[in-house]
Amino acid sequence: MVAALSAGLVACTSDADPEEGPSTAAVIPEGDLADKSGVLTPSNPTTLTTWITTASQAPAADNKITKLLKDQLGVTLEYEIVTPDNVDQKIGVMLAGGQYPDLIGTTDLKMRLLEGGALLRLDDMLATGDYPNLATHVEDDIKKMSYSGEEVEHGLYIFPNYNRFYGEPTGGTYYGPAFWIQKRVLEDAGWPDLSNMTLERYFELIENYLEKNPQTEGAPTIGFEVLASTGREWGMTNPPALLAGSPNNGGVIVDDSDNAEIYADKDIAKDFYKVLNQKYADGLVDRESFTLTFDQYVAKLATGAVLGMHDQGWDFQTATDSLRSAGKDEYTYVPLMPVYDGAEPWYADRPVMNTNQGFGISTSSKQPEKALKFLDLMLSEPWQKVLSWGVEGEDYQVGEDGMFTRTDEQRANSRDLTWRASNRLEALLDVLPKHNGQFSDGNAYSPDDQPTEFFATLSEYDRKVMDAYGKKTWLEFMNPQPENPKYYPAWNITLSDDANQVNQQLTDANVQNLPKIIAGNPADFDSNWQAYVDTIKKIDVKVYEDAINAGIQERLANW
Amino acid sequence: MTDAPVNLVTATGLEPADEPASSSRAPRRKPRTRAAKPPKEPKRKITWDRIKAQRVLLLMAVPLLMYQILFKYVPVYGWAIAFQDYKPGRGSIWNQEWVGFENFVDLFTGVNGERFRRVVVNTLGQSILTLVVGTVGAIVLALLLNEVKNLPFKRIMQNITYMPHFLSWVIVASLASVALSLPSSGGFINQGLMNLGLVDEPILFLTEPNHFWGIVAGTSLWKELGWNTILYLAAITAIDPSLYEAAEVDGAGRWRKMWNITLPGIRPTIVVLLIINSGWILSTNFELPYFLGNGLISETAETIDVFVLRYGYQLGNYSLAVVAGIFKTVVAIILVGSANMAAKRLNQETLV
């Protein structure tokens, strides 16, 4: 017995390369997915607690990749998933308690977790050289990724989850802001020309269709939906800037001399809400718009009854997914970009890194090295492929030219929400740092970005839409993306407490007054608008504008 | 008759101010003095003998005392945050920058002053309306149920009415928002009103500031009606049946008996419950305003707790949140105190 045991031990130790780190009795599995340094191995199981802000669902209990993580790395993840709507309370509670999970995946634009001392500074840990993938990831953009606020020491605290590009950016789907319109509306109008779009023509298309089709599958058809739910009120407030040909800078427009100014009370805003007010009176705008929570809004889109809305593509992704998995492609949306006379559309921008979202390691974690090692491994090419494409042979094939392809069944699977819950770690991947762009073998980071795959995933109906417009991707429906200004985007500049407070007051003024203006009697438009402008005058807007301008100047100087 | 309120107080989780009711189990008890308490008793001295004699009782009180101290008094040190420019990142609460009363002045007069005064009015309005509607509803239902002689029917009614109490507010709020929506989204209230011919056009209840207090009171009534009734029903069972018999002999009908026996019989319960609840007036009503409120109606919907969440926790301004908390506590003490005093003046049962 003793002999057998010691023989086993000897076998183990001799298997592992003694040079490679602390390998006392660590069995390292074969293959690319294993951790060669022996920190994370199945023989030394690790449980990592993970807190994630995402709209994605938690993985199913029998999830394939969960099992793979356990088999290859011995890692078990314990998820706590919080939807963006509920995140504020949760952050407050966590900060008050001072106890955090090992890994924090946050989209907290106000950086409360960081300023509250929840996040570990990562630069020093990276400097040890134990985390090569993460080190490469941040190499070029570490200044951008680093926190440069006032409350805590400057430095790298989280790894941004999107748009750190490797190779060439590729892609077929458009996730940015747009005025969306259902494909059936365009079909009914005989695939009208979409260039030089204006608000008038956009609403005309919707109006004509609505007149002919007051019912959608038994429910009343809704012309235009306005998203005003708390935390997503930008659905209602951002359009004026886009209509005026300015890229999405949040609440401000930045002029050519890099000076930021709010536009909420300016004429470009007034013109938009006047149109919306008229359309509301005409019965085009959903009367329930302003009482909808985000969930109710997505549910409404998922019924297919809504002809159009302004939103960011990623925001209603779940509705698109469920329409597609139900085979109702005519109810999904095409992005349009109406502008005011004389303005050039700048809806699509070069994908920018959103530096205050992503994964960090918590200060109360007992195993920060393991947690960081886990992030490092997840960022390795083999794991990135598993996370975004799936398992080779099961979810995709490698062609003779080395390019990844999928069969129709595999494509259908990847659209199926239930299948994805068991075969993808979407909640984790959402906040995880990614290899956006291309892998070293030339494949795109995700199937959706692989040009051949993208076109092949399109349903027959979607191909008809593409053919009608002579395009290959949804991205081609948008404007060509000019080079981003150096400071861009202004909406993720970290603000001081005072500026945050003013920003919140502005948001509140919008959320309170804009619905009244839109839903009000058109005859009262001017007085309602005046009341709104007066409310804004009472707010110390300058504090906010100054903070944004200071942020812009700092970025111009340092980035 | 005095039994009911005493039991009640224990049942609601507040310990009675005087010794526990189980005092009869104390060894070598002195002659019973409590029942024969004269109206103005001279202050009794606490002697070692007395403490020794009641040591078991005192021991029994220790856990509860500890609980109160740990969960009610210890956290009060956190009030220090109100006088600081608190930042969680600085570590300990004593390691912060002190700013005196600046946060108080800020809350009541600063950029948010007007708004804070409005949310106080909203909180008071919603709570008082909820309290009045809830209490009246519960008493009426208790009286009605008490008259039902068909036992199975009575039990079914009671069960149906108190079930919603166990639903969480999140569920109740989403039920309410569906019920109040347009008929096309499942709004059966609008559907009903239209079928009855009371309105021509569906009403968007959640966009009308004037309706919101009513919606809060109505929803709370639906949720808590049966639950609140239980206490009154219990109090009614404690009423001496001979009173009814005597009244019947004197020729009193149903209504007479209700008015002259049942209602006065549960009066102490009503008063004690009102006093207790008056302390909660500023603390209730977070969920409904939070889940049902939206921009259009926020001028009547926003309550103190929602405001604190928005401008305190969401912005990481914890000092502001604590200031509002202190304000609520002070107001609650004043309210309970004055309700108690008013009850004393009116020669009613009181809490203390």
3-state helix, strand, coil in chain B (%, to 5): 70, 0, 25
Which of A151, A288, A540 has its CB closest to that of B89?
A: A151
Supply A437's token pair: 């762009």
CA distance A59 to chain B (A): 24
A291 → closest Cβ in B91, B206, B314? B206
Q: Please state, as a whole number, how many other Cβ atoms lie within 10 Å of the Cβ of residue A75.
A: 24
* Residues in chain B closer than 8 A to A508 (CB atoms): 295, 298, 310
**Which pair of tokens denotes residue B63?**
């856990």
Q: What is the DSSP string of A219-276?
A: EEPEEEE----TT-THHHHSHHHHHTT----TTEEE-TTS-EEE-TTSHHHHHHHHHH
Q: Is A436 exposed, middle or buried (0-12, 13-18, 19+ CB in 10 A)?
A: buried
Mean pLDDT of A409-437: 91
Instruction: Give the pLDDT band (50/70/90) at residue B351.
Output: low
Q: In this predicted structure, what is the pLDDT of residue B9? A: 40
Q: Identify the three-state secondary structure at position A200.
A: helix
Select from A69, A64, A77 the least CA-distant residue to A391: A64
Tokens of A109: 């634009």
pLDDT at residue number A203: 97
B222/B134 Cα distance (integer angstroms):
9
Bigger pLDDT: A170 or A132? Answer: A132
The reported pLDDT for the residue numbered B108 is 85
Q: Place B89 in a pLDDT band, splitting at 50, 70 and 90.
A: low
Is pLDDT of B165 > 90?
Answer: yes
Rounded to the nearest integer, the mean pLDDT of chain B is 83
Contact by Cβ (8 Å): A223, A207: yes
pLDDT computed for residue B41 by the predictor: 56
Which pLDDT score is estimated for A21?
A: 45
Residue A49, strand partner residues = A78
pLDDT in tens, B134-146: 999 999 999 999 8
pLDDT at position A349: 87
pLDDT for the residue A493: 87
pLDDT interval class at A8 (50, 70, 90): very low
Q: How far is CA A42 from CA A73, A376, A549, B124, B196, in A?
A: 5, 17, 51, 59, 68
The crossing angle, in degrees rounded to 10, of helices A64-73 and A381-388 is 160
CA distance A185 to A207: 10
| A431 within 8 A of A52, measured Cβ to Cβ | yes
pLDDT value of position A319:
94
Q: Could you read off the pLDDT of B290-299 as tens digits, one per residue?
A: 888 888 888 8
Range among A2-11, A30-39, A510-519 rated most confident: A510-519
Question: Tokens for A137?
Answer: 């990831």
Lowest-pLDDT range of A254-263, A468-477, B280-289, B320-329 = B280-289
Q: What is the pLDDT of residue B111?
A: 67
Local confidence band at A115 (pLDDT 50, 70, 90 cut-offs): confident
Given a cut of 80, is residue B39 above it in pLDDT?
A: no
From the list A364, A287, A286, the residue with the least C-alpha distance to A102 is A364
Q: Closest to B295 (Cβ–Cβ): which among A116, A512, A539?
A: A512
Q: Name the phi and psi angles at A336, rounded to 5.
A: -120, 160
- Cis amide bond preceding A489, omega within 30: yes
CB contact burial A97-108 (16+ within 10 A = b; e otherwise): eeebbbbbbbbb
Give every CB contact of residue B38 below 8 A, 6+ residues apart in sequence: none
Yes or no, beta carbons of A497 and B296 under 8 Å apart:
no
Could you tell me the pLDDT band of residue B29, with boundaries at 50, 70 and 90? very low
Q: Is there a contact between A344 and A337 (Cβ–Cβ < 8 Å)?
A: no
Q: Which residues of B touch A152 (CB under 8 A)?
A: 89
pLDDT tens-place string over residues A40-69: 999 999 999 999 999 888 899 999 999 999
A451 or B6: which carries more pLDDT confidence? Answer: A451
Residue of chain A with shortest Cα separation from B114: A538
- DSSP-assigned beta bridge partners for residue A76: A47
Q: Are strands A159-160 and A397-398 parallel, antiparallel or unpaired?
A: unpaired
Q: Strand A306-312 to strand A75-82: parallel, antiparallel, or no bridges (unpaired)?
A: unpaired
CB-CB: which of B91, B295, B318 is closest to A515? Answer: B295
Rounded to whole angstroms, how far apart are CA atoms A189 and B252?
Answer: 79
Option in A288, A290, A497 nearest B295 (CB): A290
- Selected for mutation to probe chain A from B106, B315, B319, B320 (highest A CB count within 10 Å) is B315
What pLDDT score does B192 carry?
92
The Cα of B329 is separated from the nearest Cα of chain A by a number of Å equal to 20
Which chain B residue has its CA at the smallest distance from A153's CA?
A: B89
CA distance A145 to chain B (A): 20
Which has the closest alpha carbon to A541: A169, A261, A258, A237?
Answer: A261
Report chain A's mean pLDDT, rounded to a whole number: 89
Mean pLDDT, rounded, for A458-467? 92
Nearest CA-CA partner of B282 in B133, B127, B135, B129: B127
CA distance A64 to A387: 11
% chain B with pLDDT above 70: 85
Question: pLDDT grade, residue B10 (50/70/90)?
Answer: very low
CB proximity A117 to B under 8 Å: yes
pLDDT at A449 over 60: yes
Give the model confidence (pLDDT) of A283-333 as tens digits.
999 999 998 888 889 999 999 999 999 999 989 998 998 998 898 999 999
Q: Is the dihedral of CA A171, A175, A177, A183 positive or negative?
A: positive
Q: How far apart are CA B348 and CA A19, in angstroms?
A: 84
Q: In what order do the strands lie in the sheet with A75-82?
A: A75-82, A46-53, A103-106, A358-361, A159-160
Instruction: Lowest mean pLDDT of A134-143, A167-176, A200-209, name the range.
Output: A167-176
Note which residues in 231-260 of chain A have CB less than 8 A from chain B.
Answer: 233
A504-531 residue pLDDT tens: 889 989 998 999 999 999 999 999 999 9
Please report the pLDDT score of residue A325 as a whole number: 85
A219 contacts in B (CB within 8 Å)?
184
Characterize the bridge pairing of strands A404-405 and A397-398. antiparallel
Please list, in sequence order, all residues whose beta carbon lies within 8 angstroms of the beta carbon of residue B14, skipping any fewer than 6 positions away.
B276
Measured in angstroms, the CA of B184 and the nearest CA of chain A are apart by 7
Which stretches does DSSP call E strand in A98-208? 103-106, 159-160, 177-182
- CA B266, B268, B274, B279 torsion-angle sign: negative
Averaged pLDDT, A209-238:
92
CB B302, CB B116: distance < 8 Å = no
State the best of B190, B314, B318 to mutate against chain A, taking most chain A CBs within 10 Å. Answer: B314
Taking the model in full, what pTM does it have?
0.76
Block residue for tokens 């948008």: A478
pLDDT of residue B91: 67
pLDDT score at A24: 54
Whether A291 and B316 lie within 8 Å, measured CB to CB = no
Give the position of tokens 């606490």: B46
The pLDDT score that the predictor gives to residue A355 is 85
Q: Who contacts A428 (Cβ-Cβ below 8 Å, separation ≥6)?
A: A50, A52, A59, A77, A79, A105, A387
Strands (E), A265-383: 306-312, 333-336, 358-361
Element (H, E) at B85: strand B84-85
